[in-house]
Amino acid sequence: MTAHGSAPEGVHDEVRTRILDAAERLFYERGIQAVGMDELRTAAGVSLKRLYGTFPAKHDLVEAYLRRRDARWRADLAAYVDAAAGGAAVAPADRLLAVFDWLGGWFAAQDFRGCAFINAYGELGATSEGVARVTRDHKQALRAYLADLARPLGHPDPATLAAQLALLIDGAITAAAISGEPASAHTAHTARTAAAALIDATTTTPNI
């Protein structure tokens, strides 16, 4: 039972999802500062009162949008890498390189606009500790995931290799966003080639 005048839990969740869906589409496509709360209300199909009842301030909505995007982005990436491994024996290096294959597919998407976190940080990172924190958390989680993929290689310092690959990933995402199609496909391939060379160089024991 709900309190008098309050919406049932399922309705609240549905409204929250509609607002976040609208925010993700508009913020990612046009930028956070370019989109006002009234436009978001219209896009989500909710009243302004319901919007502010769900997210009391715009920064609350921005952080929730980024948190949800982080979870989805990393889940999609991990699912792709797991599927690439399949049931056959796949070399650890190939699992890492599958990350760059996934990037290539993302870059080719019609709605690709670069890294939502770099974009948000560029807009608000200097003034919003929440945006800066969410961005750092996202990048740290990606490095941790890459380090997990790197450990089976027997690399002496998987965290360092992960940090190097993360720099390649951020650079590729930014370059692809700027270059646009069809150059973005070449960007993904170039980053993959560089990653393969880096993995090979850092996991091969030199002859003495």
Q: What is the mean pLDDT of residues 198-206?
A: 73
Q: What is the mean pLDDT of the chain?
A: 90
pLDDT of residue 204: 59
Residue 180: pLDDT over 50: yes
Token pair for 120: 């948000």
* Residue count (the chain): 208
Neighbours of 154 (CB within 10 A): 10
The runs of H, that is alpha helices, within the chain are 9-30, 37-44, 48-54, 58-85, 92-107, 116-124, 129-150, 158-179, 183-203
**Nearest alpha carbon to residue 19 among 48, 46, 38:** 46
Q: Give the residue with greater pLDDT, 82 vs 6.
A: 82
Q: What is the pLDDT of residue 9?
A: 60
Residue 56, number of CB atoms within 10 A of its CB: 10
Averaged pLDDT, 63-84 = 97
Instruction: Tell me: pLDDT of 108 over 50.
Output: yes
6 band by pLDDT with thresholds 50, 70 and 90:
low
The pLDDT score that the predictor gives to residue 89 is 66
pTM (2 d.p.): 0.88
